[in-house]
Amino acid sequence: MSESFEPNIVAFLCNWCSYAGADLAGTSRVKYASNVKVIRVMCTGRVNPLFVMNALQQGADGVLISGCHPGDCHYMEGNMYARRRFGLLKELMEFIGVDPRRIHMSWVSASEGGKWKEVVEKVVEDVSEVGPFEQFKRDKINW
Amino acid sequence: MVEKVLRKDNWLNFIQALTDARDLWLPVKDGSMQKFAPYSEENKGALEEYTNSDVPPKVAVFPQTETMFRFQLGGQQVELPEGEKGKVFLGVRPCDARAMSIVDSVFQWDEDDTYYSDRREKTILIGLACHEPFLNCFCTSLEGSPGSTQGLDVLMVDLGESYYLKAVSDRGNSLLQEIGNVLDDASDEGKQADEIIKNAEEKIVRKIETGDITEKLKQLWEDPLWKQVSQSCLGCGACTYLCPTCHCFDIQDEVEGYEGRRCRMWDTCMNSEYTLHASGHNPRPSRRDRTRNRINHKYYYYVEKFDKIACVGCGRCITSCPVNIDIIDILSRVKEAL
Amino acid sequence: MVEQTTIRQKAKEIVAREDVRHLIGWRKGTFGYRVSPYWVETPEDAEELIFSPLCSPNLTNYLTLEEKLPLPKGEEPDRRKTALLVKGCDSRAAVQLLAEKGIEREQVVLVGLPCQGVIDQLKLEEKYPEGSSGVNAEWNGETIRFTFPDGEKEFAREEILADDCLSCRYPNPVLADEMLGEEVEAWSDGKNAGVEELEKASVADRWAFWEKEFSRCLRCYACRNVCTMCYCEDCILERLNPNWMFRSVNHSENTAFHIARAFHLVGRCVSCGECERVCPAGIPLGKLNQKLVKEVREQYGFEAGVDPESIPFQASYNPQDQEDFIL
């Protein structure tokens, strides 16, 4: 991969913790890589693991799901279900042959602006190492 | 129509001559599946253990997914596909070629399906006669034969040390003359070929009687036999996708961002959404209805419309059905039901 | 080992009961190695039932496959029970359906048959190509004995059984109203699930393998239809609104199809091996599902289809679930 590869990363952030944490990083004028495109969901428990699959199909190079720490979920247990699901999704994807460095999950709370920056930097670094996603990306509309 | 002989030690030159001007597709083995694929350095074909391809050569004229046109959202323009380069399909069994000529009736009926017709015109079919029946063949019961030439452009028969080639259509004739430098003229190989085909016909074990099948089916609409034969049906599409005469398709629009395409793809009448109306009503809600529809379509409705039975006896549906629903069994029950 | 006569006798008794509508079992197919699911409606029909290493079809599937059609006015639906012949894996499928409330316990009568494994037709065809005449098979200790038209042949179990059977942990039905025959000893602890080779391969090699396999997929949906655990009326794999995967057949949509289906079976797959058996393209779906079955068992300690009162795996969580993958 060339020096100029900028990965396209889609992040599903839970409204109450991670989105607020990312917002805090913004208001604190923290500088970090700008490759992440954020989709706000109310809770990570809402994130269907097939969103990850679909994001990769549509052109994302990496996907990040971030939510509240266990025990702190605004809806009590949504992140617990998410933890189970994504643990197994990563196993499945790795078994199929999708590099595990493409899919990440993290706990970022509303006050962890600094941690958000680190999470993003790690994800961008990992995905940059792996390169653009071509495995089952949808082809441009062609014959 | 010319008759030629190809010596087997000249095989590579023959292939070279065919690929020079056209795309050559021949049978290859992919895992446990035999199918037609373009000839290439990696894909030199697998004719030695070739029986019949699992996926029929209808992909030549009716590919599984075909783009009809492309468009940009918000624009008024629609981009049609360019015509394709001509293809040659080598190793088509006579039943599959017959199937294509049977399906022609639908695609060239009141409106000419230009996507189909364009491919049909540009595809040359070189058939390979069968030396013996394969697992569930019953082509002779349906006016077919291991050496039938209907629908083919050229028929090849393996004589052991060489192949006998007979041109069947004008297109086939021109092709054989064009590549004449790798072929020799035939003398009496035609007779050997006829012997081989006759022997193959006699070896066919599975048979059905189709004399008055249409009349019988008309009277059996409410017969309990349909429930019995369809109870184990899974409603999957294996029989329909592997059938050389099945031609149902679905049309979907696929949009990605601001671009899109309309494409058509194979569909199956065994699926629960087959005749599902937008209102939610389905005139064929159960597998019994859909199985009955499939058999009737092939042996009754098609006969009434086009005077042909839409089945060529290749036996793929029987071999691929995971629960052993056997069309020969169904037809013998139809015969006994009256 | 169960005697055919025992099965037929039991079937006759069950079908004669007033509260049983029919019994679903297996009978000899119309050619080769095939076996056909068979509905026994009267005691006389029961004479055709067989039970042999060829009896792969999972009959529990028909519990949810049967359509509930609208009835003429005044007619009551037939609420009689369905009786089923079940092997170990089939009974687990029934138990999982019960756990998910897909069926009710009163709907079924399960006749349990301890099973020593069914054959993989592709493996058998490599040793002896399928012919038109029917073939008999029987378990014979460490081998399976076949009666071909030209004589008997025996093949070792490890060479001929389906991959899912080789790693079977539950050869005896876990739930049955009637259990026939003697129980068999489990021969595997499930560790050898047929996925080791892929697990050892590098990520790039794994993708090369699966890409090639998925390229043959015809999207015929046979794997989904035969799976007992796939019984949604509005299946995500063919929904148009929202359109999760396009209907067109190409590498992207085929991979998405298989990922989606495998993921929907996490914690629900009972390793019956049917998906791999029915695939007309010979895609090794068993490996895909077995890998997840193995991970769920080893990392989360859960097995599908064992306890009819269990809470479904993806509908529950454990506060101590592992989180070593979380940043």
For B77-106, write each residue's pLDDT tens digit.
Answer: 888 888 777 899 999 999 999 999 999 999
Q: Which amino acid is at C266?
A: V
Cα(C118)–Cα(C164) distance, integer angstroms: 9
- The residues, any chain, with a CB within 8 Å of residue A4's CB and separated by 6 or more, are none
Q: Which residues of chain B have pLDDT under 50?
A: none
Phi, psi (5° rounding) for residue B286?
A: -115, 165
Q: Residue A46: which CATH number?
A: 3.40.50
Domain end among B147, B177, B203: B203
Question: Could you please report the per-residue DSSP string of C65-125?
Answer: HS------TTPPP---EEEEEE-HHHHHHHHHHHHTTSS-GGGEEEEE------B-HHHHH
> Tokens standing for B2?
């010319």
* pLDDT, greater one: C194 or A63: A63
Q: Does C44 touch chain A (CB under 8 A)?
A: no
- Subunit contact B232:C35, Cβ cutoff 8 A: no
Does the beta carbon of B254 lie under 8 angstroms from any beta carbon of chain A?
A: yes
Residues B114 and B146 in one domain: yes
Range of the domain at B19: 3-203
- Please give the Cα distance from C316 to C310 (Å, whole number): 10
Residue B229: name the closest of B332, B310, B302 by CA: B332
Residue A90, pLDDT > 70, answer yes
Of A91, A119, A135, the CB nearest to C295: A91
Averaged pLDDT, C118-144? 91
In which band, very low, low, confident or very high, does the pLDDT at A141 lie, cut at 50, 70 and 90? low
Residues from chain B contacting residue A140 (CB–CB below 8 Å) = 256, 259
The answer to whether position B223 is within a domain reads yes
Q: Which residue has the tokens 């500088």?
A: A31
Specify the number of domains making up chain B: 2
Residue contact C207–A138, C-beta within 8 A: no
Task: Judge contact between B304 and B124, C-beta under 8 A.
Answer: no
| DSSP element (H, E) containing B134 | none
Residues B184, B220, single domain; the answer is no
Quick one: B196 and B217 in the same domain?
no
Does the pTM exceed 0.90?
Answer: yes
Average pLDDT along chain C: 92
Q: Are residues B219 and B329 in the same domain?
A: yes
Of C110, C119, C69, the closest CA to residue C90 belongs to C110
pLDDT at C192 over 90: no
Residue B101, exposed/middle/buried by CB under 10 A (0-12, 13-18, 19+)? middle
The answer on B33 and B180 residing in a single domain is yes
The answer to whether residue C92 scores a pLDDT higher than 50 is yes
Q: For residue A1, is pLDDT > 50? A: no
Residue B206 to residue B132: CA distance in whole angstroms: 12
Domain boundary among B203, B222, B240: B203
Phi-psi region of C214 (alpha: psi -120 to 50; beta: other; left: phi over 0): alpha
Question: Smallest CA–CA separation between A85 and chain C, in Å?
Answer: 7
Q: Is residue B234 part of a domain?
A: yes
Residues of A in contact with B256 (CB under 8 A): 58, 138, 140-141
- 8 Å CB contact between C35 and C26: yes
Closest Cα in chain A to B262? A141
How many CB pairs below 8 A link B and C? 119
Q: What is the pLDDT of residue C187?
A: 87
- Beta-carbon contacts of B296 under 8 Å, excluding residues fewer than 6 positions away, are B217
Min Cα distance B135 → chain A (Å) is 35
Q: Give me the number of domains chain A comprises.
A: 1
What percent of chain C has a predicted confidence (pLDDT) above 70?
100
Nearest-CA neighbor of A20 among A106, A110, A107?
A: A110
Judge: C249–B287 Cβ closer than 8 Å, yes or no: no
* Interface predicted TM-score (ipTM) over 0.85: yes
Q: Which of B203, B233, B250 is the last residue of a domain?
A: B203
Say whether A138 and B256 touch across the interface (CB within 8 A): yes
Q: Domain range spanning residue A23? A: 9-130
CB contact under 8 A, C327 and A122: yes
First-last CA distance in chain C:
52
